[in-house]
Amino acid sequence: MISSDVNDQLRRAGLRVTAPRRSGLEWLGEHPHATVKRVRFGVAQALGSVSTQTVYDVLAACTAAGQVRRIEPAGHPARFECRAGDNHHHVVCRCCGRPEDVDCAVNVRPCLTPSDGHGYLLDEAEVVFWGTCQAFGSDADGPQ
Binding positions for Zn ion, rule: CB under 5 A: 81, 93, 95-96, 98, 101, 133, 136
Smallest separation, CB 20 to Zn ion (Å) = 22
50 or 93: CB nearest Zn ion: 93
Q: Which is nearer to Zn ion, 65 or 133 (CB)?
A: 133
Query: 107: left (phi > 0), else alpha (psi -120 to 50), else beta?
Result: left
3-state secondary structure of 10: helix
CB of 1 to Zn ion, least distance (A): 16
Q: How far apart are the C-alpha atoms of 89 and 101, rounded to whole Å?
A: 6
Is 43 within 8 Å of 59 (Cβ atoms)?
no
> Considering the complex, what minimum distance in angstroms separates the CB of residue 6 from Zn ion?
19
Output 19 or 95, the one with its CB closest to Zn ion.
Answer: 95
Peptide linkage before 32 cis (omega within 30 of 0): no
